[in-house]
A = this chain, B = another copy of it.
Amino acid sequence: MEDILNLRYALDTFYFLVSGALVMWMAAGFAMLEAGLVRAKNTAEILTKNVALYAIACIMYMLMGYGIMYPEGGNGVIPSFDFSFMLGGDNDPAAVLKQDAAGWYDGDYYSGMSDFFFQVVFVATAMSIVSGAVAERMKLWSFLMFAVVMTGFIYPMQGYWKWGGGFLDGLGFQDFAGSGVVHLAGASAALAGVLLLGARKGKYGPDGQIRAIPGANMPMATLGTFILWMGWFGFNGGSELILSNVGEANSVAAVFVNTNAAAAGGVVAALLTARAIFGKADLTMTLNGALAGLVAITAEPLAPSPIWATAVGIIGGVLVVFAILSLDKLKIDDPVGAISVHGVVGMWGLLAVPFSNADATFGAQLTGLLVIFGWVFAASFLVWMIIKATVGIRVSEQEEYEGVDISECGLEAYPEFVGSRGSGL
């Protein structure tokens, strides 16, 4: 039996590590997506921001976040704080192998280090969502300060409430891989920042006109979307948390199929919706449709049949187009559509769960949604406020006009490319 347990443990650990590597890859996806959707003059800064926020997330989550989110104890609202992870240590092999084979999956059935690795890339994902929404006008260092608090404290707290076994979990709130805990959380922090930051200069005219500000590099944005799509197999697929028997392997496979199906549904829906509205095959909307399908299915990628998963994505794909247009009408300026994709569609994902999973109720889903939004929005608003009041959050008008690449990074993303058409943008 020890031989079997060794193999199970190794296989489930490997499954976590491979899944985690795929989620880490999503950091590249967000970086490329956002770099493609901003203007050339703000590209180096957003790249810097994406690399730096990932690094900050990894350090802060190691130092405090992981201990907050998965504590040894706590009362369901306030976790017991335990900051020992940074010193290492993992399950003792002898103790692992002494565990009862029957109750195996309730015990330490995979490496604690692999668990951290899988979790840490999730917090980076949540933080990446913020980055795009505040693009082209926020001060880099102010953003990074916020990242420290978000990844070290705000995110882990609500993560504890659900995945760490806190009160939302006790209420029956269902969120398989984080339509709420990750995506809605990221979007809520983004919204708070955007409201305090204001729109980019020239985005909204004095008479209510909305000016389209096209992204500088569509292949990059498309690449970013494909990277995110691929990484999502780790994001959702790894969230089953067990692989090593027939039933669980089937579940992981179903999650892969449904994740892919929802993204496909989102693409087709956004493509057709955009065509109906604009008369053209809007690439940006199509990419957001893919992401919307992925966000929508993330709360429950296991229970649906493939056709229902496709439908969940289709609804997400339609929704995201209208959400983006509506936010613009409200003059909430989100250069990459992150609040719509991760926030609005994240909510849809949470509310879609009861349609396929009998364990979920609309009441519990709505409660979870409101708690996550309320906590993250309020806490983030406070932090953004403090930063605004002290070091400021917005670059000067002149810096915004010239592009934040020069003012924040001291270099240009494409020093040789921008021709005469780039001037004045």
Contacts and interface: CB of A to CB of B under 8 A. Distances in A.
Contact of A253 (B117, B257, B282): B117
A97 interface: yes
A218 B220 CA distance: 11
Interface in A218-264: 218-220, 222-223, 225-227, 229-230, 233, 237, 243-250, 252-254, 256-257, 260-261, 263-264
A81 interface: no
B416 A425 contact: yes
Given A140-B281, A219-B217, A252-B14, A24 B86 contact: no
Given A6-B245, A7-B244, A219 B120 contact: no
A282 B422 contact: no
A266 B5 CA distance: 37
Interface in A1-57: 1, 3-11, 13-18, 20-22, 24-25, 27-28, 31-32, 35-36, 39-40, 43-45, 47-48, 50-52, 54-56
Contacts of A141: 281
B51 A286 contact: yes
A416 B411 contact: no
Contacts of A13: 243, 249-250, 252-253
Interface stretch (A153-161, A303-311, A329-337): A303-311
A287 B51 contact: yes
Given A4-B3, A43-B218, A418 B421 contact: yes
A47 B116 contact: no
Interface residues of A, number: 132
A271 B56 CA distance: 11
> What DSSP secondary structure best describes chain A's contact surface?
helix
A282 B22 CA distance: 27
A174 B300 CA distance: 41
Contacts of A20: 256
Interface stretch (A87-95, A164-172, A357-365, A384-392): A87-95
Interface string A407-418: 011111111111
A206 interface: no
A208 interface: no
Given A7-B7, A22-B21, A96-B246, A260 B214 contact: no
B290 A55 contact: yes
A320 interface: no
Most buried by B among A222, A246, A257, A417: A246
Contacts of A50: 222
A195 B20 CA distance: 42
B421 A257 contact: no
Contacts of A418: 416-417, 419, 421
B114 A253 contact: yes
A32 B140 CA distance: 25
A44 to B, nearest CB: 5
B268 A56 contact: yes
Of A113, A271, A283, most B-chain CB atoms within 10 Å? A283
Contacts of A408: 280-281
A58 interface: yes
A248 B22 CA distance: 21
A284 interface: yes
A8 B4 CA distance: 10
A306 B10 contact: no
21 contacts: A6-B244, A10-B11, A10-B246, A13-B243, A21-B22, A24-B230, A25-B226, A32-B219, A47-B222, A51-B290, A110-B249, A111-B249, A112-B253, A116-B257, A117-B257, A214-B415, A217-B413, A417-B417, A418-B419, A418-B421, A419-B420
